[in-house]
């Protein structure tokens, strides 16, 4: 028995997220499983490091599966990339220990939210960024974001219709930077609640636009009230950048 680890890059625009659904909606996981089954002629179930929502992208999603096949890793990677659609690519294939689990072995994940902050809307990047033509106070956003660092109850930034028993997570790093017209919000945490990143970004944008006063982010966090945190930004600006083990 072998345990195969895949590093997957994908554009999530045309998918209903990573995880297989009971309905016949197309997902990234299902698409990869079908490709593996076609190559290995065996029914394979892959395990992902975590879910990504419909429209969310990944630069380095991690998945693993177990197989009795002796196919060489290089051959498997080439075969998968030959049969997968253009918006999904396997960038790395490794053999790992049998105890490796893409989800439970993960120590942290890094997500990036990309904002295109200029007057004119995008054409080429319309499905990869959130277009925002309004000026943003980046220094204030950076200052306010510090309130989220560390271990907290992030119920205020959890989708109202997706309540988990434990809303406590640890944000290890939160960086807001600008490169010309692009604003990047990078968040590393030991885990994420449903829509947590998109809700945090929504609140940060409200602060940057002057709609929320200074000190708001800490108050929102401590309130544990989703209604105070502002809008959920679109999925298209979000990408899973890295999973740390």
User: Residues with catalytic annotation?
Assistant: 53
The token pair at 35 is: 């490709």
Handedness of CA 155, 159, 163, 168 (dihedral sign): negative
Nearest to 52 by CA among 193, 236, 240: 240
């Amino acid at each position: 028995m072998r345990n195969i680890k895949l590093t997957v890059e994908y554009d999530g625009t045309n998918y209903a997220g990573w995880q297989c659904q009971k309905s016949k909606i197309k997902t990234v996981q299902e698409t990869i499983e079908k490709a593996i089954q076609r190559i290995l002629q065996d029914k394979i179930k892959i395990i992902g490091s975590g879910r990504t929502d419909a429209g969310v992208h990944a630069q380095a999603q991690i998945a693993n599966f177990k197989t009795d096949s002796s196919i060489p890793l290089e051959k498997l990677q080439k075969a998968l990339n030959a049969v997968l659609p253009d918006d999904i690519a396997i960038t790395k294939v490794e053999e790992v220990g049998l105890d490796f689990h893409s989800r439970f072995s993960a120590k942290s994940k890094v997500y990036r939210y990309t904002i295109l902050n200029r007057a004119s809307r995008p054409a080429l990047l319309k499905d990869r960024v959130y277009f925002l033509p309004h000026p943003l106070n980046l220094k204030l956003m950076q200052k306010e974001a510090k309130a989220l660092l560390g271990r907290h109850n992030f119920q205020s930034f959890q989708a109202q219709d997706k309540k988990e028993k434990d809303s406590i997570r640890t944000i290890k790093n939160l960086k807001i930077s600008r490169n010309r017209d692009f604003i990047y919000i990078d968040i590393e945490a030991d885990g994420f609640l449903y829509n947590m990143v998109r809700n945090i970004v929504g609140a940060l944008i409200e602060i940057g636009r002057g709609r929320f006063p200074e000190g708001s982010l800490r108050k929102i966090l401590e309130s544990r009230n989703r209604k105070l945190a502002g809008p959920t930004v679109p999925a298209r600006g979000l990408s899973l950048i890295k999973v740390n083990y």
